[in-house]
Amino acid sequence: MPHSTEPYEDDLDDLPSPRPVHYAEQSLLGALLLNPHQLPDIRALRAEHFGNHAHGALFQAMRMVPLPDPEAHRSDPAWLNAVLDAARPHAPGLTTSYLHTLVQICPRPQHAPTYARMIQSDHARRTLLMHAQRLAQTATDATLPNRAVATLAQADALSQFLDTLAGQFTPHPGSLPRTALPIHPTAGSSEEVLDEERLLLATATAHPAALKDMRWLQPEDFTQPLHAALWQCLTSLVHRAEPVDPVTVLWEAQHRGLLAGGLSAGDLMALVSEPAGSADYWGERLLQRALLARAGDVAARIATYAEDPANTTHQLITGSRRALADLAALRTRWQRSTAPTPPTAPRTSRGPSVSRAGPPPRTSPARALR
């Protein structure tokens, strides 16, 4: 049967393939219509927890209309009529016959608190999905003036929501979601990102002293495996207090097998021979990209959990917290990289000719190295 196109008809009697929570909502409302004095037992439930707008409006009306006398309610429909009149301005599709349907559907009126718990749990899942979608949207919104800060604020909001959920649901031994996470193909790096990684390597080769203050940048922050390996070459040379220049980097790269894949010595030296700006400027840009990418991955992971109704609320809490933990370490490194330099420890090792601001990426002989 096709749905009505009238804007004020909720078509409550003909919902296609209703989800289990729909029956929980109907059963709870039927139980309360039969025995409205159970309302005080479900104080934590609110109208916005209902997935069906008309159901939420009916529940809110039950909260507003004074409870009837128990004896009179058994034979007098006055309270039912008052509830219906209070709900109709917000849900015009509600009818007297639908209230009778709710009463008939309810299998056990005494199970009203359990039905309410089911509704709260489904609302928690939907809200978690909303938080995950906001995190993903913020991490990819290039129009934001400070996208990293806004993204971390969304991650904090998600974490606070999980803390709230943990306080609302009785704890039990945690278990991870059973949902299989999809394997996303590795996204290709843009030419802009590759240029910035090359400029970082070249600038760090020219000014290796800067690497002593850049422990916050790790090889996994690079998008290109070769660039990550060259970063390891540079940090190893600095750690051993050995001279750093394109030739010593080449020698270290040879020992690490980087020339075995067809990369020529000349190409590798060219890649680390054209510095520009300052190493920490390029490093911060790389780390911020890694932070945003990780936030997007975490959001997708949590959204996948929340979209699977097979997961319990406790599984959603545990799995989402595990996902956010994967963002925490990278977040700490990013905050360390952007922390102001203490006045007592000026960065004099880079020399007066090295500017923290980096010029726009430019073409280099190493551009062809992918």
Percent of the chain with pLDDT over 90: 69
Instruction: At 11, list the tokens.
Output: 């078509």
pLDDT at 70: 87
Please give the pLDDT value at position 170: 76
Residue of higher predicted confidence among 364 and 328: 328
Q: Residue 352 is which amino acid?
A: P
Give the pLDDT score at 8: 47
Distance (Å, whole) CA 46 – CA 50: 8
Mean pLDDT of 11-17: 58
Whole-number average pLDDT of the chain: 86
User: How confident is residue 261, by pLDDT bands cut at 50, 70 and 90?
Assistant: confident
Q: Average pLDDT in the 350-359 region?
A: 47
List phi, psi (to 5°) of 290: -65, -40
Reported confidence tier of residue 187, pLDDT bands at 50, 70, 90: low
Instruction: Report the pLDDT value the prediction gives residue 138, as an integer from 0 to 100.
Output: 96
Q: Do residues 282 and 355 make contact, with C-beta atoms less than 8 angstroms apart?
A: no
Query: What's the pLDDT score for residue 14?
Result: 56
Q: Please choose, from the candidates 285, 282, 251, the residue with its C-alpha nearest in 3D space to the C-alpha of residue 265.
A: 251
Question: Could you write out the three-class secondary structure of 276-304?
Answer: CCCHHHHHHHHHHHHHHHHHHHHHHHHHH
The pLDDT of residue 179 is above 80: yes
* Per-residue pLDDT band at 358 (split at 50, 70, 90): low
Query: How wide is the angle at C-alpha 197 spanned by C-alphas 195 and 203, nearest 5°?
Result: 100
pLDDT of residue 182: 74
Question: Does 363 have pLDDT greater than 90?
Answer: no
**What is the per-residue pLDDT for 319?**
93
DSSP string spanning 132-196?
HHHHHHHHT-TTSTTHHHHHHHHHHHHHHHHHHHHHHS---------PPPP-PPPPPPPHHHHHH
Could you give the percent of the chain with pLDDT greater than 70? 85
Residue-range domain boundaries for the chain? 12-107, 120-177+289-319+334-338, 192-286+351-368
pLDDT for res 191: 87
Give helix 191-206 / helix 225-239 axis angle, nearest 10°: 20
* Mean pLDDT value across residues 59-80: 92
- Estimate the crossing angle of helix 147-168 against helix 313-338, to 10 degrees: 150
* Helix then strand then coil, % of the chain, to nearest 5: 65, 0, 35
Average pLDDT over residues 202-213: 93
Better-predicted residue by pLDDT, 367 or 73: 73
Q: For residue range 230-242, list pLDDT tens digits in order.
A: 999 999 999 999 9
- Residue 218, pLDDT above cutoff 80: yes
What pTM value is reported for the model? 0.81
Most confident of 5-19, 67-81, 112-126: 112-126
Residue 87 CA to its chain's centroid (Å): 36
For the cut 90, the answer to whether the pLDDT of residue 338 exceeds it is no
Three-state SS sequence of 252-266: HHHHCCCCCCCCCHH
pLDDT at 292: 95
State the average pLDDT over residues 343-364.
Answer: 48
What CATH number was assigned to the domain covering residues 192-286+351-368?
Answer: 1.10.860.10
For residue range 120-145, list pLDDT tens digits in order.
999 999 999 999 999 999 999 999 98
pLDDT of residue 101: 94
Whether the predicted pLDDT of 186 surpasses 80: no
Which among 357, 347, 283, 297 is positioned nearest to 327, based on CA atoms? 297
